[in-house]
Structure 1
Amino acid sequence: MASRSFGACVLCHPVLRMTCRRMSAAADLQSQIDFLQGQPHKKHPGVTKLKNLGLPDKLQAAALSVIQGAQVARLTERSRKLTNFLWSRKRAVEDFTLRKKAASLEKELWEKAMETPDGADEQLLEERIRKKVLSELRRTTYRWTAMKYDEELGVVYMAARLAGGYAAVRRAMNEIKKRDPSFAPQSLLDFGSGLGTVVWASHSYWGDSLKEMVCVDSSGQMNILAERLLKGDDERAEPPIKHVYFRQFLPVSPKVQFDLVAAAFTLSELPSTKEREEAVLTLWRKTGSYLVLVENGTKEGHQILMEARDTLLLTQEKTLHDSRPASVFAPCPHELKCPKLAVKPSFPCNFQQLYQPLRLPGLKHKEQQVEEFSYLILTRTEPVQAETAAVDWARLIAPVQRRSRHVHCRLCCPDGHLQHLVVTARKHSRDLYRCAHGSHWGDQLPVLQKADDGSQTD
């Protein structure tokens, strides 16, 4: 009988074979980037979700003082109705869309009239069809009206949206704080500043460096209310946040830039695509480093942000005072067309943040509520790169489903595709499995290898 070689005997031994596999796997992992960067698995670099957020103590106290002094009738009921109204709000219908719809309706009615002529005079028939078209347009067209805040409605808005709006803005800005810890802005511009939540959220991260914060809102009453929230009960007392300036119009000079520019729940208040596009381009010209846009986590909010994204990535301006191009910082891991818009039926790309609601007088509240929002951050600086191309960071776009020995992750990937990845320790490494198990909706997840039998593209 022919004798087997020593190497063959080694490979046949089950213990030695297992040892070789483990050594090989360890070598493979060693050759890849250490994506944990010394952090524990539950706090890996892709974690950006925050725990239950509450309003700063001074902001909460000032808001309750304003509410108590205003004594608005049926405040709880009105704040609930306003919340529902703002959530269900759609964009105004464009004029060209209305004209197109009217022409289609008119054509359809004429075709029906010609099929069954009733002998009516042509001029009379034309008048009848015109009235039917107008009636149908009134019945089916969304009636958009601009929000006009007086003193009382401003207090209702504060009761309805202060805590949730603050939570959404704080969560979006946490992305910059976590991924670019060296960023120390000295100036801030908040367009459509409303209650000043952007100022409070940004101050919580960069209070030591911010020296100038300009709040722009067309509503004089909103500016007065935001200033009262800054000063608190005692108007003579020194405000907790200094160097805040309120304006009703943007700074005129196109050369004036701010390190951080934000617009939260503002673009949806502009009546047309053209006005939103002009506003986004103006804000970008004034952006020195980061532009942060936040909207409701609805289809409307998401689509408005994707329009803004396309405007800044695709528009070539003739006059440039800052030639550095726009690049997407978050949440998209790519600059391709949003894959969620290509899926039918489409669902918005949105995220959730737990927060503690403003405790209105005489009302029992839940310990926490959920703010659902969409956001977009663009930057003039170079995108943050991994140390090596071995790691692609994808975005979790749905809740992580944890099962026995495997985790279901739905991801938006750097190649511009949606992916349903089933992560296991055996197929994807123990480190990646533990990271996936501890991650949440909205976090980033390092994908160390190509999709295999346990993954699929949605």
Structure 2
Amino acid sequence: MLTTNRLSTQLYQLILKSTTRNVCKIAVTVDPDLNEKLDKEELKHRHHPGIIKKGNVNIPKHISKAIERAIGDFPIKTLVKDGKVLNQYICSRHPPPETKDIQKKIQAISQELDEKYPMPNDPEFPEEELERKNQARQQKLKKTLKERIIAWKPITYGAYEGLVYAIGRSAQEYAVISSIFKEIKHRNPDFKPRSFIDFGSGVGSAMWAASDLWKESIFEYLNVDSSREMNDLSDLIIRDGNENQKPTLKNVYYRQFLPGSETKYDLVVSAFSLFEMPSAKDRKEIIMNLWKKCDGYMIIIEEGSRKGSEIINEVRSTVLSSKDHELAGHVFAPCPHDLPCPRLAAEGDNTPCNFNVAHEPLGLGEKISGNITKRFSYVVLKKGPRKDASDSWPRLVRPTLIRSKHSVCRMCTSKGTLLEIVFTKSKHGRNALRCARASDWGDRLPIEIGEEWENVKRPKRKPKDESVEMEDEAKIKTEQQN
């Protein structure tokens, strides 16, 4: 009988070993004040303060009607078609290549040509033939370099191009900017900006979004765009498409260049504009100029592509590396830290840090059902040090995976690392699990991340009859020992 029990135990252990997996657990603690409110049911999990209910962010109807009036006699179908082409071009755009990058390309191509078409070393080789080979090699190098280097050039906006931009881009840009402004207002309801400046203002999307939230407090809107036609179109839109009508916003000003004065602005914006700068040096100069003019929040937005994410990371590094104490600040969003971006780090996952927002299309000239999702990269920088403990809450950087008894959240943490946590009720508690299930890409989780627990082994799934059999074996063993 003892032999049979021993064999049964060994057999179960063998089965257990073959059906287990290593599980890495991470301890988390829900914010104490929030945890108490959740326990008392004073607050629902789907309304925890880390969630920003963006929903579908649609451009105001009076703006879309003003754009329609501003079109005038231009052919609407042609404008819509050109707007799609322009939008696709901007979304896939690269910044201009730097001199050092071009030199590296030339060196790499030269090495390839040396291997494929080596130049003769014979001193008796005809000089004319050697010169001919050298010229052919230079032509091959120029042709290959042209194929491998991005042919960048700035986009020039005239009256027609301005309308194309308004139709192809205004709805999505408004949705992106408005969603970021809403997070600022949600996290800092006491913020009442008095002044606003937008570098690369285009048709005025950022101004519309700011006026929707803070129209009562903003007394000055300054729009800066190098295109005079763009500025004229923006002014026409806030006049509801009628140049003889009074503007719907007061104290709106337009300039083609940044003002040289030391005037400070509470809200500084630059959206989808840095790709127009001819070099990284020019981008950094513009960013530091805008940061010096900032007296509250500075919002920089670019496309959610790999290159757009790199530009945003460049902005973070430029501002945070400043040694001037008067220019000290921190990242308000999306990062819960001021460290290098873990996605673009050497050990990162090498994917863009981006987010998305849903919106309705402008709907001029064609009927489109459903919403469109816009992906973007951004950073919100705030003057001064971090003061709120909630600033360190981790940010969800990908959609939450909801399963039957657990949820998987991929987050950027206050330690500047990417972390994936599998939330369960048994290990993290009811409140942590339900907050995780209610949160989605772009939200923050109101938790403090602890240390990793030791790897443990547990059965993936244990059939009911095996469990009963084990209990019976344990009872028999106990009786025999007694």
Shift of 1:96: 2.1
Deviation at 1:153, TM superposition (A): 1.3
Aligned match for 2:339, one of 336, 341, 346: 336
Indicate how the Cα distance of structure 1 residues 49 and 272 shifts in structure 2: closer, same or farther if over 3 A, else same: farther
> Residue in 2 aligned with 1:315?
322
Q: 363, 378, 383: which is aligned to 1:380?
A: 383
**TM superposition shift of 1:364:** 1.8
Hey, what's the Cα distance between the residues in 1 that align with 2:314 and 2:30? 42
Matched, 1:34 2:34: yes
Distance 1:36 1:332 in 2: 27
CA contact (8 A) 1:70 1:155 kept: no
Do the aligned residues in 2 keep the contact of 1:330 with 1:377 (CA within 8 Å)?
yes
Take 1:282 and 1:386, find their aligned partners in 2: how far apart are those partners? Answer: 30
Is 399-408 or 119-128 further displaced after alignment?
119-128
1:211 equivalent among 211, 216, 219:
219
1:132-151 equivalent positions in 2, closer than 5 A: 132-151=140-159
Q: Aligned pair 1:221/2:265, yes or no?
A: no
Secondary structure of the residue that 2:394 maps to in structure 1? strand
Structure 1 length as normaliser, TM-score? 0.86
State which drifts further: 88-97 or 214-223.
Answer: 88-97
- Aligned-residue offset at 1:30: 9.7
Local SS of the residue matching 1:262 = strand
Please say if residues 70 and 242 of structure 2, whose CA atoms lie closer than 8 Å, have aligned partners that are also in contact.
no
Alignment map for 1:298-309 (pairs within 5 Å) = 298-309=305-316
Taking the aligned partners of 1:30 and 1:56, their CA distance within structure 2 comes to 38
Per the alignment, residue 184 of structure 2 pairs with 176
Q: Residue in 2 aligned with 1:60?
A: 64
Q: How far apart, CA to CA, are the structure 1 residues paired with 2:152 and 2:249?
A: 36
| 1:314 to 1:162, Cα distance in 2 relative to 1, 3 A | same
Return the structure number with greater relative CO, CA threshold 8 A, min gap 6.
Answer: 2
- For the structure 1 residues 132 and 31, does the alpha-carbon distance in structure 2 shift closer, same or farther, using more than 3 Å as the test? closer
Letter matched to residue 233 of structure 2: L
Unpaired runs of at least 5, structure 1 = 1-27
Structure 2: how far apart are the matches of 1:143 and 1:365? Answer: 34
Tell me how far apart the structure 2 counterparts of residues 49 and 276 of structure 1 sit (CA, whole Å): 33
Q: Would you say the 8 A contact 2:49–2:446 is kept in 1?
A: no
Shift in Å at residue 315 of structure 1? 3.0
Structure 2 residues without counterparts, runs of 5 or longer: 1-27, 456-482
Corresponding residue for 1:46?
A: 50
Q: Among residues 175, 181, 189, which one is paired with 2:197 in the alignment?
A: 189
Per-residue deviation at 1:123?
A: 3.3
Preserved contact between residue 188 and residue 261 of structure 1 (Cα < 8 Å) = yes
Query: 171, 176, 180: which one pairs with 1:163?
Result: 171
Amino acid at match of 1:277: K
In the alignment, the residues of structure 2 paired with residue 300 and residue 120 of structure 1 have an alpha-carbon distance, to the nearest angstrom, of 48
| CA displacement, residues 165-221 of structure 1 (integer Å, 9 cap, x when unaligned) | 000001111221111111101000100000101111111111110000100000001
| Corresponding position: 1:359 with 2:363 | yes
Q: How does 1:65-104 map to 2 (within 5 A)?
A: 65-72=69-76, 74-104=78-108
Map 1:234-253 to 2 at 5 A: 234-253=242-261
| Cα 1:393/1:113, change in 2 over 3 Å | same
Q: Which has the larger radius of gyration?
A: 2
**Displacement after TM superposition at 1:307 (Å):** 0.4
CA distance in 1, matches of 2:173, 2:296: 23
Amino acid at match of 1:161: R
Partner of 2:18: none
Q: Cα offset for 1:88?
A: 0.7
Q: How far apart, in 1, do the equivalents of 2:237 and 2:104 lie?
A: 47
CA contact (8 A) 2:69 2:242 kept: no
Q: Percent identity?
A: 34
- Greater mean deviation of Cα atoms: 432-441 or 62-71: 62-71
Q: For 2:59 and 2:73, locate their aligned partners in 1 and report how far apart those are by CA, in whole Å.
A: 20
* Residue in 2 that maps onto 1:408: 408
Match of 1:371 in 2: 374
**Conservation of the 8 A alpha-carbon contact between 1:49 and 1:171:** no
* Alpha-carbon distance in structure 2 between the residues aligned to 1:55 and 1:454: 51
Q: Which amino acid aligns with 1:284?
A: W
Paired AA for residue 192 in structure 1: G
Residue 124 of structure 1: aligned partner: 132
For residue 451 of structure 1, report the CA deviation from its aligned partner: 5.5
User: Per the alignment, in what secondary structure is the counterpart of residue 49 of structure 2?
Assistant: coil
- The amino acid of 1:350's aligned partner reads N
SS at 1:341 equivalent: coil
SS at match of 2:146: helix
> Equivalents in 2 of 1:269, 1:235: separation in Å?
29
Deviations 1:52-74 (A, max 9, x none): 11111221210122235433552
Given that 1:49 and 1:353 are in contact with CA atoms closer than 8 Å, whether structure 2 keeps it comes out as no
Tell me if structure 1 keeps the 8 A contact 2:409–2:421: yes
**1:372 match: secondary structure:** strand
Distance 1:196 1:31, change over 3 A: closer
What is the CA–CA distance in structure 2 between the aligned matches of 1:144 and 1:413, rounded to whole Å? 36
CA-to-aligned-CA distance 1:115-173 (integer Å, 9 cap, x gap): 76694534333322222111111122111110101111111111110100000001111
Counterpart CA distance in 1 for 2:373 and 2:218 is 29
Instruction: Tell me the SS of whatever aligns to 2:260.
Output: coil
Partner Cα separation in structure 2 for residue 375 and residue 412 of structure 1 = 15
Aligned counterparts of 2:216 and 2:108: Cα–Cα separation in 1: 59
Amino acid at match of 2:95: R
Hey, what does 1:265 align to over in structure 2?
272
Contact 2:76–2:364 (8 Å) recurs in 1 = no
Matched, 1:347 2:355: no
Task: Give the drift of 1:452.
Answer: 4.6
247 and 35 in structure 1: CA distance in 2 versus 1, 3 angstrom threshold? farther
Query: Which amino acid in the other structure matches residue 382 of structure 1?
Result: P
The alignment of Structure 1 onto Structure 2 pairs a total of residues equal to 419
Structure 2 matches for 1:393-404, cutoff 5 A? 393-404=393-404
Which segment drifts farther, 365-374 or 186-195?
A: 365-374
Structure 1 residue 344 displacement after superposition: 6.2
Going from structure 1 to structure 2, the CA distance change for 1:175 and 1:192 (only over 3 Å counts) comes to same
